[in-house]
Amino acid sequence: MRDTIAQALTAAVKAQDKRRVPTLRLIMAAIKDRDILNRGTGKEPVTNEEISTILAKMIKQREESAKLYEDGGRQELAEQELGEIEIIRDFMPKQMSEAEIRAATSQVITQTEASGLRDMGKVMNALKEKYAGQMDFSKASALVKELLQ
């Protein structure tokens, strides 16, 4: 995944794509920051799953910013944030649909033998481990809570 992003950055620089280059550089910087953090704690460089998590976090940050810009009447800045989201999503694994999230959540609840809300953390950890970058965990969290009540 790291190589794909680096190749896309090289291609964007060569094409002088003024929209993609800064966003791809931000992605590469975020990955390098995590590598440095991992090196300080003796961990390996980031894996594809961790890169997916980084990208998901970047998308969430931009969605929040775009909403704030729209609320503040700054449509041009909101559009810039939404454009960055599109670029970042190009490198994300396919996101699960609502039905797929429901099926995966039910399966993990069964596997972990969760029986109540006190097991919610165990279920969420299993989901994050198994479906990193593929699922919106805020939706999954609400669904887990609903299913465990």
For residues 8 and 47, membership in a common domain is answered with yes
Residue with tokens 């390098």: 32
Q: Is the same domain home to 125 and 69?
A: no
Looking at the structure, do residues 79 and 114 belong to the same domain, yes or no?
no
Cα 102 to the chain's mean position, in Å? 19
Which domain range does residue 117 map to?
A: 98-148
Q: For residues 82 and 68, is the Cβ–Cβ distance under 8 A? A: no
Domain shared by 7 and 80, yes or no = yes
- pLDDT tens digits for the chain (149 residues)? 889 999 999 999 999 999 999 999 999 999 999 999 888 888 888 888 788 888 988 998 999 999 999 999 999 999 999 999 999 988 887 778 888 888 888 888 888 888 888 888 888 888 888 887 677 788 888 888 888 88
56 and 14 in a common domain: yes
Provide DSSP, 59-89.
Answer: HHHHHHHHHHHHHTT-HHHHHHHHHHHHHHH
